[in-house]
């Protein structure tokens, strides 16, 4: 587990939006999807997912419906709303700008200054 | 997120809380099941897989709580949770809870009772549409800033100003004889003379009939029309709508009823409720002074002038305009208007003017009651603090398992909010009871025929103010304990309850507060006790005249335009008729009755043959004018000489009767009968003292014996006189006899304040002082309760703080009584200091009261013998309860968490 990174504050919402943007998922599915798309590099406490999910639903970025899972269990499936899709785009841009800026700052060599 | 969706989510979350939460839990469980499915697929047994899945999920409760919060509707829900929890935890300590509620209720009750007075006296707007536009115009001089205007001046104000939509004038009429028809005996009523535009400018629409027309207020004495007040219409005419157009008689003059003022307009005055309104032009009918010409004399200032500001006009504009007008009047009429200015005032300014007794009274009461509330809050804070201390461990545990500090403070604040709400409701009930209680005195305070009302009542504004105050006190007394008890050191908090060391200063403050409360309540209780005792003594001493079997009634023949000769003839005939009437055993006429509400006149005189001190020209004494029946009818013994006789007529030599006190004062050890005094000065008229009467109580039942002179009515004619008739049986049975006698003389002459004298005496001299005693006593009791609450809170706090220490002491062999002594010692010291201070203040108050009210009989030991031990026992009981709890502490319990 040592090679897994702790999430930065605020990034869980972004990851959830991204995971759901690839298709409707239930909570456990979202967790698996995040692990899958991050290559298993991110550590998410399983229970911590749900407060985030409910928050996004309340903000109108996700909508949820009960359905039946691949395991034939009742589960709640989440998908993006239009507002969620828009938010994901914005957040992705912001994140990319930030990441590039920080990466370039950290990658600067002494002679480049 | 839009506000709309926020509200919707909040609403749906709130409305479907149960279902939403069930779904949420199902979702979380579904997650764990899915995870378990995965694990099972890897070959782990189902049972083990589920266990692992639950572990991996993390703190289920914690996430469930967080998820709930994220769901929205959380605030409302936790509020309900907090409420439920608070109620439960408050019910666990019922004694303390009730005590806190009662303390708060008393504090808030004092304030809301006071507010109802403040509201009535200061803030309640005029009962007219758009009351804020109504201003009062006053005439000002060097001596008075609130003078009235004359009729001529009113016309100038009305016609030469631009700032107002209308300028109105009114003049109060006291004691007008009213009769519904010519056949019935007139009753005394009070009305209002108003300018023709009065109701119109105030925007008051009659509920029946019409208002005055402007031309009805133009020709003096022509239009005898009257608009009735709503209460009067109800009382006198049983709300009969056919009253419009009917004729009634005011002071014997026929008036036509043209309308009835609406129910919501009881009048512009605070206390007076005019029975009727008539135009100013009818003033001559009611004039009591034929010398004056109301319509012409610029210095006959009897009119109160008000105005309604034009929309857009400011008070400043009106003020400037008025100043110019006043200057012009001054130069135009230098004689009548010299040094006279004018000013405009709002309703608030008029009611809070410096010279107004109501305003002072109000300020004093507000300050007092707020002080009581503040003390109540401090005490409650102390009680809650001691409770918070007792719960320190519970709070520490809650904090350590993840409760946020803000959440805990909210919980504790919810508790104090519940307490404050209950206290507030109790306070409103107390305030209501106070107002009701006060209204039971109406009949005593306002013993008069005139339409008066005490306007104190609990209305919506007062209720809202009280509730707001309750919430404020919740903050005041809840926040400090909440903050303090959540700011604990977790490790020590769980281990023991020894979590903080309160600053010496704070304890000091609370000690002072307790001492102050003990001493103040002792002083007030002593004062109340002294008043009661002194008063009882006074009543035992008696008044030295016979109060029973007397009927009193007052006449003022000037009301029906009698001249002085007619007036004296009327009285002479009246007493002659009564003397022949059956059942009448005696009769007397007097200017003022003993122990009445009116003050006696003073008489300046110089005793003959007595050296005057150089710095004075004469002596003064209170006096009364009485007829020859007075001493007999009132059963006042004549100790020397004689009373007045028929022969003491206007033409006979002038005579006087003095009381024993007077005689002893100026002629000690000698016989005053036969001595002479001169009126006013050394050169004044000579009056022979023909008799000495026993000293009676005249001004007040609690009077010291005072000098008093009686002058004979025939030599000192007075128009307004009170008739006393002595009866064999019930004096009220003589009312008809007197009425008949008056009617044969003049059916239009009203009888004012007709009642049995004994009843009047009881109200004036016995019941009224009792009100003051009850109030002081009630305040003393409230003070005592506050002191008890304060002391209890303080000791309880100490006990909870020292639980640990007490446990060690007991483990080392200290006995219960020693612990009791240890804890009580502090209370004893505080009560001791408070008692000493209170005694000192009590003595001071007693001296003050003795000098003002009662026989200077020295120290009334009984008062202290009763009050001090009572106070001591009660306060020590307040200290004993927590102390006993301390002594019951099991050492094992107290030390367990070490």
Secondary structure in 3-state letters for B776-836: HHHHHHHHHHHHHHHHHHHHHHHHHHCHHHHHHHHHCCCCHHHHHHHHHHHHHHHHHHHHH
Chain B partners within 8 Å of A60 (Cβ): 1-2, 5
Question: Residue B72's pLDDT band (boundaries 50, 70, 90)?
Answer: low
Sequence-separated (6 or more) residues with CB below 8 Å from residue B403:
none
CB contact under 8 A, B27 and A50: yes
How close B51 gets to chain A, by Cα (Å)?
14
CB contact under 8 A, A50 and B63: yes
The reported pLDDT for the residue numbered B898 is: 41
The reported pLDDT for the residue numbered B248 is: 92
Nearest chain B Cα to A70, which residue?
Answer: B34
Sequence-separated (6 or more) residues with CB below 8 Å from residue B40:
B46, B49
How close A97 gets to chain B, by Cα (Å)?
25
Question: Residue B444's pLDDT band (boundaries 50, 70, 90)?
Answer: low
How close A100 gets to chain B, by Cα (Å)?
29
Name the most confidently modeled range: B70-84, B403-417, B708-722.
B708-722
Interface predicted TM-score (ipTM) of this complex, two decimals: 0.86
Q: Which of B317-331, B477-491, B783-797 has the lowest mean pLDDT?
A: B477-491
Nearest chain A Cα to B35, which residue?
Answer: A28
Residues of B at the A interface, defined by Cβ within 8 angstroms: 1-2, 5-6, 9, 23-24, 26-28, 30-31, 33-35, 37, 56-60, 62-63, 66-67, 69-72
CB contact under 8 A, B26 and A54: no
Residue of B46, B67, B69, B77 to mutate for A, most A C-beta atoms under 10 A: B67
| pLDDT per position as a tens digit, B487-518 | 655 555 555 444 444 444 456 667 777 787 78
Question: Residue B551's pLDDT band (boundaries 50, 70, 90)?
Answer: very high
Q: Which of B27-36, B71-80, B233-242, B403-412 has the lowest mean pLDDT?
A: B71-80
User: Which among B5, B31, B33 has the least Cβ separation from residue A46?
Assistant: B31
From CA B121, how far away is CA B594, in angstroms rounded? 32
User: Which among A54, A59, A71 has the least Cβ separation from residue B34?
Assistant: A71
User: Which among B2, B5, B30 has the least Cβ separation from residue A74?
Assistant: B30
The reported pLDDT for the residue numbered B92 is: 78
Chain A partners within 8 Å of B28 (Cβ): 47, 50
From CA B315, how far away is CA B163, in angstroms rounded? 9
Q: Per-residue pLDDT for B73 more than 70? A: no
Closest CA to B236 of B208, B275, B264: B275
How close A52 gets to chain B, by Cα (Å)?
7
CB contact under 8 A, A54 and B1: no
Q: Which residue has the higher pLDDT, B377 or B362?
A: B377
How close B79 gets to chain A, by Cα (Å)?
20
Q: Which of A71-75, B507-511, B755-759 has the lowest mean pLDDT?
A: B507-511
Nearest chain A Cα to B9, which residue?
Answer: A58
User: Rounded to an integer, what is the distance from CA B463 to the centroid of its chain?
Assistant: 16
User: Which among B2, B6, B67 has the least Cβ separation from residue A54?
Assistant: B67
| pLDDT per position as a tens digit, B527-539 | 777 777 776 776 6
Question: Residue B309's pLDDT band (boundaries 50, 70, 90)?
Answer: very high
Q: Is beta strand B276-279 parallel, antiparallel or unpaired with respect to B752-756?
A: unpaired
Question: Residue B424's pLDDT band (boundaries 50, 70, 90)?
Answer: confident
How close B884 gets to chain A, by Cα (Å)?
50
Buried b (16+ CB within 10 A) or exposed e, B577-602: bbeeeeebebbbbbbbbbbbeeebee
User: Which among A48, A60, A69 has the least Cβ separation from residue B5?
Assistant: A60
Q: Per-residue pLDDT for B369 more than 60? A: yes
How close B91 gets to chain A, by Cα (Å)?
35
The reported pLDDT for the residue numbered B210 is: 93
Residue of B16, B20, B30, B71 to mutate for A, most A C-beta atoms under 10 A: B30
Check if the beta carbon of residue B252 is closer than 8 Å to that of residue B204.
no
Q: Per-residue pLDDT for B546 more than 90? A: no
Q: Which of B382-386, B531-535, B604-608 has the lowest mean pLDDT?
A: B531-535
Closest CA to B580 of B755, B746, B725, B731: B725
Chain B partners within 8 Å of A81 (Cβ): none
CB contact under 8 A, B1 and A28: no
User: Mean pLDDT, to the nearest integer, of B324-341?
Assistant: 89
* pTM attached to this predicted model: 0.62
CB contact under 8 A, A45 and B26: no
The DSSP 8-state label assigned to residue A7 in this structure reads: P
How many Cβ atoms sit within 10 Å of the Cβ of residue B852?
A: 8
Chain A partners within 8 Å of B9 (Cβ): 58
How close B408 gets to chain A, by Cα (Å)?
21
Nearest chain B Cα to A25, which residue?
Answer: B31
How many Cβ atoms sit within 10 Å of the Cβ of residue B575?
A: 19
| pLDDT per position as a tens digit, B252-270 | 789 999 999 999 898 888 7
CB contact under 8 A, A51 and B24: no
| pLDDT per position as a tens digit, B622-636 | 999 999 999 999 999
Q: Mean pLDDT in chain B?
A: 81
């Amino acid at each position: 587990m040592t090679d897994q990174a702790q999430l930065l504050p605020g990034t869980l919402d972004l990851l959830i939006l991204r995971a759901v943007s690839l298709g409707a998922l239930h909570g456990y599915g979202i967790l698996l999807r995040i692990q899958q798309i991050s290559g298993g590099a991110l550590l998410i406490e399983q229970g911590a997912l749900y407060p985030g999910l409910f928050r996004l639903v309340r903000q109108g970025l996700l909508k949820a419906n009960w359905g039946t899972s691949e395991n034939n269990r009742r589960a709640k499936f989440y998908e993006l709303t239009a507002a969620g899709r828009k938010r994901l785009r914005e957040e992705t841009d912001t994140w990319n700008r930030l990441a590039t800026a920080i990466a370039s700052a950290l990658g600067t060599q002494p002679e480049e200054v | 997120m839009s506000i709309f969706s926020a509200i919707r989510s909040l609403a749906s979350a709130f409305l479907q809380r149960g279902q939403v939460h069930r779904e949420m839990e199902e979702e979380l469980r579904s997650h764990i099941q899915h995870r378990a499915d995965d694990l099972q697929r890897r070959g782990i047994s189902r049972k083990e897989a589920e266990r692992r899945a639950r572990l991996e999920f993390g703190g289920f409760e914690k996430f469930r709580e967080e998820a709930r919060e994220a769901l929205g509707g959380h605030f409302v829900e936790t509020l309900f949770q907090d409420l439920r929890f608070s109620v439960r935890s408050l019910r666990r300590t019922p004694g303390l809870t009730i005590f806190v509620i009662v303390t708060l209720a008393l504090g808030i009750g004092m304030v809301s009772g006071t507010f109802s007075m403040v509201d009535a006296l200061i803030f309640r707007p005029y009962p007219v549409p758009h009351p804020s536009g109504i201003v009062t115009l006053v005439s000002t001089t060097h001596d008075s800033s609130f003078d009235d205007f004359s009729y001529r001046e009113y016309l100038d104000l009305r016609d030469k100003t631009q700032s107002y939509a209308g300028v109105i004038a009114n003049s109060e009429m006291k004691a007008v004889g009213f009769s519904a028809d010519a056949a019935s005996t007139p009753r005394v009523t009070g009305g209002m003379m108003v300018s023709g535009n009065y109701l119109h400018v105030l925007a008051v629409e009659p509920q029946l009939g019409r208002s005055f027309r402007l031309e009805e207020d133009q020709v003096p004495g022509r239009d005898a029309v009257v608009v009735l007040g709503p209460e009067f219409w109800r009382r006198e005419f049983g709300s009969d709508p056919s009253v419009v157009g009917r004729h009634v008689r005011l002071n014997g003059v026929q008036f036509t009823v043209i309308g009835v003022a609406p129910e919501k307009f009881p009048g512009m005055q605070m206390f007076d409720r005019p029975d009727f309104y008539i135009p100013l032009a009818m003033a001559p009918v009611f004039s009591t002074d034929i010398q004056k010409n109301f319509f012409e004399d610029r210095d006959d200032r009897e009119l109160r002038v008000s105005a309604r500001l034009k929309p857009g006009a400011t008070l400043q504009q009106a003020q400037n305009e008025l100043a110019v007008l006043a200057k012009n009047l001054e130069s135009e009429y230098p004689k009548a208007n010299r040094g006279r200015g004018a000013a405009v005032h709002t309703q608030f300014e008029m009611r809070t003017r410096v010279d107004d007794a109501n305003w002072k009274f109000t300020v004093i009461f507000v300050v007092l009651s707020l002080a009581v509330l503040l003390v109540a809050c401090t005490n409650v804070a102390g009680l809650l603090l001691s409770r918070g201390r007792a719960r320190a461990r519970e709070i520490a545990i809650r904090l350590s398992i993840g409760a946020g500090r803000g959440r805990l403070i909210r919980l504790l604040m919810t508790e104090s909010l519940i307490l404050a709400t209950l206290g507030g409701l109790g306070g409103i009930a107390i305030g209501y009871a106070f107002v009701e209680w006060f209204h039971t005195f109406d009949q005593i305070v306002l013993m008069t025929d005139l339409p008066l009302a005490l306007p104190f009542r609990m209305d919506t504004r007062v209720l809202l103010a009280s509730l707001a105050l309750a919430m404020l006190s919740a903050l005041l007394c809840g926040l400090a304990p909440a903050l303090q008890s959540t700011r604990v050191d977790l490790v020590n908090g769980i281990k023991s309850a020894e979590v903080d060391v309160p600053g010496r200063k704070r304890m000091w403050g609370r000690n002072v507060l307790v001492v102050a409360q003990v001493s103040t309540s002792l002083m007030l209780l002593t004062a109340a006790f002294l008043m009661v005792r002194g008063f009882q003594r006074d009543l035992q001493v008696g008044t030295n005249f016979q109060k029973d079997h007397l009927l009193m009634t007052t006449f003022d023949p000037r009301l029906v335009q009698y001249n002085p000769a007619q007036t004296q003839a009327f009285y002479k005939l009246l007493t002659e008729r009564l003397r022949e009437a059956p059942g009448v055993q005696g009769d007397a006429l007097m200017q003022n009755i003993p122990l009445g509400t009116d003050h006696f006149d003073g008489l300046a005189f110089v005793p003959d043959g007595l050296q005057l001190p150089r710095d004075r020209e004469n002596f003064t004494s209170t006096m009364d004018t009485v007829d020859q029946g007075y001493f007999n009818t009132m059963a006042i013994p004549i100790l020397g000489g004689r009373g007045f006789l028929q022969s003491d007529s206007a033409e006979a030599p002038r005579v006087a009767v003095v009381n024993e006190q007077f005689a002893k004062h100026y002629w000690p050890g000698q016989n005053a009968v036969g001595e002479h005094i001169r009126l006013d000065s050394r050169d004044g008229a000579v009056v022979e003292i023909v008799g000495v009467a026993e000293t009676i109580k005249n001004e007040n039942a609690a009077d010291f014996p005072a000098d008093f002179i009686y002058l004979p009515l025939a030599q000192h004619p007075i128009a307004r006189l009170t008739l006393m008739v002595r009866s064999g049986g019930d004096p009220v049975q003589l009312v008809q006899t007197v009425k008949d006698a008056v009617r044969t003389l003049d059916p239009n002459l009203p009888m004012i304040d007709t009642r049995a004298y004994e009843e009047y005496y009881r109200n004036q001299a016995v019941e009224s002082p009792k009100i003051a005693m009850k109030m002081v006593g009630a305040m003393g009791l409230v003070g005592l309760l506050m002191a008890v609450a304060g002391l209890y809170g303080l000791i309880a706090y100490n006990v909870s703080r020292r639980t640990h220490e007490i446990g060690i002491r007991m483990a080392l062999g200290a006995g219960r009584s020693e612990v009791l002594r240890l804890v009580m010692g502090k209370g004893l010291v505080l009560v001791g200091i408070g008692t000493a201070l209170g005694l000192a203040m009590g003595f001071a108050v007693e001296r003050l009261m003795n000098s003002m009210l009662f026989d200077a009989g020295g120290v009334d030991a009984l008062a202290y013998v009763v009050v001090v031990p009572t106070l001591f026992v009660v306060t020590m009981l307040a200290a004993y309860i927590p102390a006993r709890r301390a002594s019951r502490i099991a050492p094992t319990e107290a030390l367990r968490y070490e």
